[in-house]
Amino acid sequence: MESPIDKRTGQAIRKLGALSSVGLSLVLAVVMGAAAGYFADRWLGTTPWGFLVGFFLGVAAGMRTVFRTVSAVSKDDEA
C-alpha cells in the first residue's frame, strides 16, 4: 500500500515548518537581547545604553538566523 504522503509533499511540509519558525526566532532573539540589555542597565546603571546595545545585538542575531534558515531551505530547493 502506498504512503498517503509522497516524498515531495513531505519535503514541502519540512520546508514550511522551517520557514514558519523564522518569524518566531527573529522576535525571540530581539526580545532576549533587549531584556539582557535592560537587566545590564539596571545592574550597571548605564541606562539606556545597555538596552540599545542588547536590542541591536538581538536584531543582528535574529537576522543571522533568518538568513541561515532561508539559505538552507533554498539550497535544498536547488538539490
How do residues 42-65 score in pLDDT, each as one tens digit? 999 999 999 999 999 999 999 999
Q: Is the pLDDT reported for residue 78 higher than 80?
A: no
Domain extents in the chain: 29-79
Rounded-to-integer distance, Cα 1 and Cα 30, Å: 48
User: What pLDDT is attached to residue 74?
Assistant: 86
